[in-house]
């Protein structure tokens, strides 16, 4: 570890010619203006030094000075020859305008679609773009970068970069995690939980492409996986094995219940339903939506076989928090096969109908619904017990 006392910035050598020069953002609370990040995140940038030098990805806008200070502890940034842009999203490419000024001879390496996005977002001029295709290599003199197109992980232009001599894979967002804790993944005891949460929110909608991504990563046979968020993996098989399962959509005998209730009628239904599922041997996790963490919901969606939504009728439809959860489920395309909805209303109802409209557009089979007026009595409790039993039977089958 090198430490620059003047600026307090450390850089980390991760293999013979690679240094991590990324930044930690402990303070960031939301990603995509939506999902909480309890341990912040990192924007990982890596310096690869052969006879020529390549910078792999940059950092979120606002951290440019820190990136430059870190690079300066190792070399003059003006001598960087290549900036690899694996992904055009601003958390990795947002420092390009400043870096292109500070590195006057550097060209930006990107896929063709990446090049177009780099012009659109960051005004990277054509004469400073070097477009690569799947399998292309770049000789740094003694060190070779190989590029692997990995579209839709999680934008259309994404690619992986592989340092052949040291077998370091830079898959950008793929295989990453939002946590600022640890340089190496074995220094963060919750890493795979954070990685699962991140998978659920970012990669789950692209499971098919993700399967191809893991295959590509395995073919390269990396010793180190250095993603663009979170710690670096020096035991790469573990994260690739998990991604195999998550991208395959392997589910557990597990139900994720998300519900909201204003006067506890819906919550009573949910309580009875969850108790029945548990006694039928089903793993149950319940998220009460006024206090829930969307990242945890995304994480539970990764391996739940069924989803239950609970909502009172609210101005002719779902309670807004339940509508929000239903929209999230639809958008994230989890592998769950079954769904059920329970609701309480006082006059015209409407929650079940709206839930059907949203969830009907997914691949899930809506096993059943229970809609009751007011608080539940014995017959209503019996109806949700039967719904739970039917759900448990279908899940076993
Ligand atoms: C703001 C608000 C809007 C409501 N809108 C409707 C509605 O459009 N249709 C209906 O049948 N009931 C409506 N209700 C009544 C509730 O759906 C009913 O009280 C239900 O039993 C509440 O279930 P909960 O105890 O799970 O909150 C509304 C209640 C509130 C407070
Ligand atoms: Fe991204
Ligand atoms: Fe990212």
Q: Domain holding 17: CATH number?
A: 3.60.15.10
Ligand 1 atom having least distance to the Cα of 313: 17
DSSP 187: G
CB of 73 closer than 6 angstroms to any ligand 1 atom = no
CB of 2 closer than 6 angstroms to any ligand 1 atom = no
Tally of domains within the chain: 2
How many angstroms separate the alpha carbon of residue 144 from the centre of ligand 3?
A: 24
> How confident is the model at residue 66, as a pLDDT?
97
Q: Is 202 helix (H, G, I), strand (E, B) or coil?
A: helix
> How confident is the model at residue 267, as a pLDDT?
98
CB of 377 closer than 6 angstroms to any ligand 1 atom = no
CB of 120 closer than 6 angstroms to any ligand 1 atom = no
The position carrying tokens 């149950």 is: 284
* Shared-domain flag, residues 243 and 259: no
Residues in the chain, overall count: 397
Contacts of 393 (CB under 8 A, 6+ apart): none
226 phi/psi in degrees, rounded to 5: -115, 85
* Shared-domain flag, residues 197 and 313: no
6 torsion bin: left (phi>0), alpha (psi -120 to 50), beta (else): alpha
* Shared-domain flag, residues 281 and 356: yes
CB of 1 closer than 6 angstroms to any ligand 1 atom = no
Mean pLDDT, each 10-residue run in order, the chain (397 residues):
56 97 96 93 98 98 97 98 98 98 98 98 97 98 98 98 98 98 97 98 98 98 98 98 98 98 98 98 98 97 98 98 98 98 98 98 97 98 98 96
Cα separation, 102 vs 69, whole angstroms: 12
CB of 369 closer than 6 angstroms to any ligand 1 atom = no
Q: Look up residue 389 and give its two tokens.
A: 């039993």
> How confident is the model at residue 3, as a pLDDT?
45
Domain for residue 310, yes or no? Answer: yes
CA 322 to chain CA mean position, Å: 22
Ligand 1 atom having least distance to the Cα of 314: 5
* Shared-domain flag, residues 287 and 138: no
CB of 310 closer than 6 angstroms to any ligand 1 atom = no
Domain for residue 397, yes or no? Answer: no
Domain for residue 168, yes or no? Answer: yes
* Shared-domain flag, residues 304 and 236: no
Domain that holds residue 363: 255-392
Q: Domain holding 387: CATH number?
A: 3.40.50.360
CB of 259 closer than 6 angstroms to any ligand 1 atom = no
Closest CA to 38 of 230, 171, 184: 230
CA dihedral 366, 370, 373, 376 (to 10 degrees): -150
Ligand 1 atom having least distance to the Cα of 269: 26
* Shared-domain flag, residues 238 and 260: no
Ligand 1 atom having least distance to the Cα of 348: 11
How many angstroms separate the alpha carbon of residue 341 from the centre of ligand 1?
A: 16
Query: Which secondary structure element, helix H or strand E, spans residue 285, and what is its range?
Result: strand 283-288
Domain for residue 363, yes or no? Answer: yes
* Shared-domain flag, residues 271 and 207: no
CB atoms within 10 A of CB 187: 11
CB atoms within 10 A of CB 63: 20
> How confident is the model at residue 287, as a pLDDT?
98
* Shared-domain flag, residues 216 and 363: no
How many angstroms separate the alpha carbon of residue 353 from the centre of ligand 1?
A: 14
CB of 348 closer than 6 angstroms to any ligand 1 atom = yes
Q: What's the predicted TM-score (pTM) here?
A: 0.95
Domain for residue 195, yes or no? Answer: yes
Closest ligand to Cα 348: 1
Residue to substitute in 259, 313, 318 for testing ligand 1 pocket (most ligand atoms within 8 angstroms of CB): 313
How many angstroms separate the alpha carbon of residue 321 from the centre of ligand 1?
A: 13
CA 12 to chain CA mean position, Å: 25
As to burial, measured by CB atoms within 10 angstroms (0-12 exposed, 13-18 middle, 19+ buried), residue 379 is: exposed
How many angstroms separate the alpha carbon of residue 3 from the centre of ligand 2?
A: 29
Q: Look up residue 288 and give its two tokens.
A: 């009460």
Write out the E strands in 111-250. Answer: 129-131, 137-139, 144-149, 159-163, 168-170, 224-225
DSSP per-residue letters across 27-57 = T--EETTTEE-TT-EEE--EEEESSSEEEE-
As to burial, measured by CB atoms within 10 angstroms (0-12 exposed, 13-18 middle, 19+ buried), residue 253 is: middle
CB of 362 closer than 6 angstroms to any ligand 1 atom = no
Last residue of a domain, one of 220, 248, 276: 248
Last residue of a domain, one of 248, 264, 291: 248
């Amino acid at each position: 570890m090198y430490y620059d006392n003047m600026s307090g910035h450390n850089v980390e050598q991760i293999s013979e010619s690679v240094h991590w020069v990324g930044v930690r953002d402990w303070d960031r609370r939301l990603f995509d203006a939506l999902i909480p990040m309890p341990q912040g995140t990192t924007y990982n940038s890596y310096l690869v030094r052969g006879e020529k030098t390549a910078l792999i990805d940059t950092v979120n806008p606002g951290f440019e000075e820190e990136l430059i200070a870190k690079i300066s502890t190792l070399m003059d940034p003006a001598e960087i020859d290549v900036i690899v842009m694996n992904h055009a999203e601003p958390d990795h490419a947002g420092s390009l305008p400043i870096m292109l000024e500070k590195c006057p001879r550097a060209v930006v390496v990107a896929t063709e679609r990446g090049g177009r996005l780099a012009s659109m977002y960051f005004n990277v001029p054509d004469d400073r773009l070097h477009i690569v295709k799947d399998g292309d290599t770049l000789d740094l003199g003694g060190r070779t970068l190989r590029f692997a197109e990995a579209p839709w992980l999680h934008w259309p232009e994404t690619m992986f970069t592989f340092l052949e001599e040291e077998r370091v894979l830079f898959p950008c967002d793929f295989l990453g995690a939002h946590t600022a804790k640890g340089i190496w993944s074995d220094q963060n005891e919750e890493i795979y939980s954070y990685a699962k949460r991140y998978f659920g929110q970012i990669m789950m909608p692209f499971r098919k492409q993700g399967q191809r991504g893991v295959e590509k990563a395995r073919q390269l046979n990396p010793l180190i996986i250095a993603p663009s968020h979170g710690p670096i993996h020096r035991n790469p098989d573990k994260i690739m094995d998990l991604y195999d399962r998550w991208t395959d959509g392997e589910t557990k005998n597990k139900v994720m219940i998300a519900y909201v209730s204003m006067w506890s009628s819906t919550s009573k239904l949910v309580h009875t339903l969850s108790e029945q599922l548990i006694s039928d041997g089903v793993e149950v996790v319940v998220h009460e939506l006024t206090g829930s963490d969307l990242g945890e919901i995304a994480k539970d969606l990764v391996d739940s076989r069924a989803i239950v939504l609970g909502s009172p009728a609210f101005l002719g439809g779902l309670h807004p928090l339940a509508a929000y959860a239903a929209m999230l489920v639809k958008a994230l395309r989890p592998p769950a096969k079954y769904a059920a909805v329970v609701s309480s209303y006082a006059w015209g109802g409407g929650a079940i109908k709206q839930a059907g409209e949203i969830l009907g557009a997914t691949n899930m089979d809506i096993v059943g619904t229970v809609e009751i007026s007011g608080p539940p009595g014995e017959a209503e409790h019996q109806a949700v017990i039967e719904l739970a039993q039917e759900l448990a039977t279908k899940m076993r089958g």
